[in-house]
Structure 1
Amino acid sequence: MGSAIACQVSENRPEKVKKLVVLSGYLLKDGQSPTGLDHGAFPKDWMAMSEAGVLSFTPYYKVSHLNPKFVKVKIYSFLTDEQFGPLAMQLCGESMAALNQQVKLGVNFENVPKVYIKTLKDEMMPLEIQEQAIANTVVEKVYDIDTGHDSFYTAPQELTAVLDEIASNF
């Protein structure tokens, strides 16, 4: 969801964004939301996900919380339960309003240079969704990292090398 916010910041305050670097995230079109309720970016059946035990909601469906067991299997399957414990404690809810909020993008967003880092083994943000994000706008360069959604944790040297290369091209 952070990349959706970064897209909107790029539109609203382009003078503050030298380059938008998206790591396995959304590059939205005008009028889209992270959940893709409009224009079909990434449609989700929230109630089915809840019934399947993937996530739960607070009263009145204001905040969603991912089930730590799901996160362990989909993102951190390589960790022992003992290693995953501290990470599980950091999981927090996400605002449903923010997930459904449509971005309002225009020429400012279009003019901000963009780079995308694909995570090739990502089960949270599958490659087809990453490819759609890249196709939504002009991207200067696409980097590939052979990891899941957790590249900061599983491939920190590789991710740092990519970020260093991006930074050196300013």
Structure 2
Amino acid sequence: MADFLLVHGSCHGAWCWRDLIPALEAAGHTARAIDLPGHGPSTVLPSACTLDSCRDTVLDASTPDTVILGHSWGGYPISAAAETEPNAMRGLIYLCAYIPIGGRSMVEMRKAAPRQPVLEAINRSSDGASYTIDPEQAPGLFYHDCPDAAVRYAIPRLCAQAIAPQTAPLPLSARFDSVPKHYIRCRNDRTIPPEYQQEMTKDWPSQRVHVMDSSHSPFFANPNGLAALVSRIAQEI
């Protein structure tokens, strides 16, 4: 059995793993979710959030036996954690997430995608420190195949996302390369284009890339299927 640490994406929080945690626990695993700085009950202002503080939050919650799963933007702080302390985790799972290229920021990675479906839904704060997602557009971007009850649960919980962590470049080295990694591509993703997810993993061994017929939020759309898949992945890490 595995110990999973779940790391949310932009504008989300530990709340988004509501359905996946019990599905993993029913399979005999332990599973924990964290809020990155500026999310959940955190009192850290967006202007004070950094990629380093996000990284440290991940490391503080991890153990050498932990499989860390990062969703979307969450791919960056989990990668930063692996670069800093590769022995502090058992392996990484990227869930329709950005895989850093050394020296690039997440924003640079997003701009390299062939399409930018999320841009029209972004509302930048007046001070330029954060952004939010238009709640009218969020269901179509994030949750188009999720149960209505899950969508009603999620929309009011979406929060501001600090910009500075996402504009910070992430240098990578052999330390990052040494950590076992798997990727779950979501075939029906309307946030990070599926073809870009495929591009980011084009040089990966095929057995480390998995596909779900899901939106950007398989933790709501198909939590049992996601739990079964990450359980199988954990056996290979």
TM-score range, shorter chain: 0.7 to 0.9
Higher RCO structure, 1 or 2 (CA under 8 Å, sep 6+): 1
2:226 aligned with 1:159: yes
- Unpaired runs of 5+ residues, structure 2, are 1-72
Residue correspondences, number: 164
Q: Contact 2:113–2:193 (CA<8 Å) still a contact in 1?
A: no
Change in 2 beyond 3 A, CA 1:6/1:83: closer
Which of 158, 172, 178 pairs up with 1:105?
A: 172
Code of the aligned partner of 2:80: Q
Code of the aligned partner of 1:29: I
Q: Alignment RMSD, CA only? A: 2.6
Measure how far apart 1:30 and its partner are.
0.7
Q: Contact 2:143–2:221 (CA<8 Å) still a contact in 1?
A: no
Q: Contact 1:29–1:137 (CA<8 Å) still a contact in 2?
A: no
Code of the aligned partner of 2:182: V
Using the size of structure 1 for normalisation, the TM-score is 0.84
| Residue 74 of structure 2: aligned partner | 2
| Residue 21 of structure 1: aligned partner | 93
Q: Contact 1:120–1:144 (CA<8 Å) still a contact in 2?
A: yes
2:191 aligned with 1:124: yes
2:163 aligned with 1:91: no
| Residue 41 of structure 1: aligned partner | 112
Q: What secondary structure is seen at the aligned counterpart in 2 of 1:86? A: helix
Which of 73, 80, 83 pairs up with 1:11?
A: 83
Residues of 2 paired with 1:146 and 1:24: CA distance? 12
| Residue 123 of structure 2: aligned partner | 56
2:186 aligned with 1:114: no
Residues of 1 paired with 2:155 and 2:224: CA distance? 23
| Residue 216 of structure 2: aligned partner | 149
Q: Contact 2:76–2:106 (CA<8 Å) still a contact in 1?
A: yes
Change in 2 beyond 3 A, CA 1:25/1:126: same
* Structure 1 runs of 4+ with >6 Å offset: 136-139
- Unpaired runs of 5+ residues, structure 1, are none
Q: Bigger shift: 95-104 or 73-82?
A: 73-82
Change in 2 beyond 3 A, CA 1:72/1:154: same
Q: What secondary structure is seen at the aligned counterpart in 2 of 1:149? A: coil
